[in-house]
Amino acid sequence: MNLTIENILFIGSILLFLSILAGKTSYKFGVPTLVLFLLIGMIAGSDGLGIQFNNPEIAQFIGIVSLNFILFSGGLDTNWKSIKPVLGQGIALSTIGEFLTAASLGVFVWAISDFSIYEGLLLGAIVSSTDAAAVFSILRSKSLALKYRLRSTLELESGSNDPMAYVMTIAFLGLVINPNMGFLSLIVLFFQQMILGAVLGLGFGWLSKIAVNKINLGFEGLYPVLVISLMFITFSFTDLVGGNGFLAVYLCAVYLGNQELIHKKTILRMFDGIAWLMQIVLFLTLGLLVNPTDIIPLLSLGLAASAFLIFVSRPFGVFMTLLPFKMKIRRKWYISWVGLRGAVPIVFATYPLIAGIEKAHTIFNIVFFISLTSVLVQGTTLSVVARWLKVALPEKLKPKNPIDYINSESPKTAMAEIDIPENHLIVGKKILDLGFPKNAIIAMLRRKGEFITPSGNTEILANDQLLVLAENELSLSNVYKTLGILQPETEDEEQ
């Protein structure tokens, strides 16, 4: 069956519906959702139901768009306070650790196959990064709570190491095409990509905050659309000037996620939903692109490469990288085990296909096999290995991410009506700019006898009366301190 304009929506919606149903039941059987998305795509493909899809350019485009949403959503959920203590570890793992993983696997593949050294290194580069979509979705779907800030380290690494994998993929692909390419140009490419990506990512994050908070759109539903446009501007402009767009998008989102934004809850919810949609679309597309019959002749090489990556290359990269850091061996082993490969390596494997190098299809099929076995073997055992290595936290001590806080309406046990006097410092300020405590809300605002449901863009005027709900009395006291208003004594205090 060929995909046409007439049937693409029907077929796509059916596959999407089946993927959602599969995802709902997958964990009853211990199978990661992402694997089922891939399998549904493969079943629907040319070796299954007969849908013909053999266009790596379209697959790559879908992959890049999807990765933008997945990385941006992961960045929005990244709490700066939680990653700050592990920043050095995360950056080291996503750069040095990734290079060591790629190099060791590349040499191994070169030694056991007819791959040239550059072709082996290209394969190693493509599968070197831990996949943000796989790590974010599996850790959060399993509600896995980890000790020693391990979760922050893993999510920081997976969210920030795609740029390194991209640079290495482009560099080694260039060496395969032109073996005489100078290594100096590769070093220049690396620093250009990373420096421009970091600077422009943070710069666009700052500009995006101003745009979101200063532009009065009038409709709450337009704010997520505005952020989507800013996300794509960040990626495309950074890529246009020679920087790393993936790094820029992730850092832009990390910056925005740790700022006060108008309608931030709406933005977070929307990106969380779209990130899931993009994961499904991405894995379905890549499942359609692969032909299972092409993988069978490569099973022995694929198994050898996958086993070497899981049990040798990844641990080697992690242990060598973390030598300067004080960390117990069992934590390093767990970081090594959460080296999940997913859709990102498969997306990067489309670059050799488009370039038309000799072993492009072999590399693509091996990468697909490695990604599938990685998610199956490692993804299904994250909780078990965490308990074995004693790095799992009890459920009651599990920290929450921003989406958890949004979705769990935590009870507010303290309430106060606060009058804003004339000529007060906060008069004329937007609620967004007050630095209001996160565990308290302004539920209602009374102005000239009328009740208003406030938003972050609402300005405080003289003689306004704020109805404030807080989780407890301490939170309520912090509200008064934030507003710069003296808290009245309670009856208990007077007694």
Least confident range from 130-144, 278-292, 332-346, 417-431: namely 130-144
H or E element, residue 425: none
Question: What percent of the chain lies above the pLDDT cut of 90?
Answer: 26
Which sign does the torsion angle of CA 309, 314, 315, 319 carry? positive
- With contact defined as beta carbons under 8 Å apart, do 194 and 241 qualify? no
- With contact defined as beta carbons under 8 Å apart, do 366 and 155 qualify? no
Radius of gyration of the chain (CA): 25
Residue carrying the six token digits 């199956």: 376
- Residue type for position 134: A
Higher-scoring residue by pLDDT: 346, 146: 346
Q: Tell me the pLDDT band of 46, cut-offs 50, 70 and 90.
A: low
Q: Report how far apart, in Å, the C-alpha atoms of 118 and of each of 76, 169, 177, 181, 250 are.
A: 37, 11, 9, 12, 29
**Cα(286)–Cα(15) distance, integer angstroms:** 13
* Residue 395, token pair as written in the block: 């459920």
Give the global pTM. 0.76
411: pLDDT strictly greater than 60: no
Higher-scoring residue by pLDDT: 292, 252: 252
Which sign does the torsion angle of CA 405, 409, 411, 417 carry? positive
295: pLDDT strictly greater than 90: no
Q: What is the DSSP string of 171-206?
A: HHHHHHH-TT--HHHHHHHHHHHHHHHHHHHHHHHH
**Cα(380)–Cα(65) distance, integer angstroms:** 27
Least confident range from 21-30, 93-102, 219-228, 433-442: namely 21-30
Mean pLDDT over the full length of the chain: 81
Ranked by mean pLDDT, which of 40-54, 173-187, 315-329 comes out on top?
A: 315-329
| Domains defined for the chain, CATH in brackets | 5-402 (1.20.1530.20), 411-494 (3.30.70.1450)
Ranked by mean pLDDT, which of 10-24, 73-87, 343-357, 448-462 comes out on top?
A: 343-357
H or E element, residue 444: strand 440-447
Residue 403: closest CA among 276, 222, 278: 276
Residue carrying the six token digits 């490569």: 298
* Residue 15, token pair as written in the block: 């596959």
What phi and psi values does residue 446 have, to the nearest 5 degrees?
-105, 125
Torsion angle of the four alpha carbons 155, 157, 161, 162, in this order, in degrees rounded to the nearest 10: -10
Residue 137: closest CA among 283, 257, 248: 283
- Residue type for position 470: A
272: pLDDT strictly greater than 80: yes
Residue 347 burial (C-beta neighbours within 10 Å; 0-12, 13-18, 19+): buried
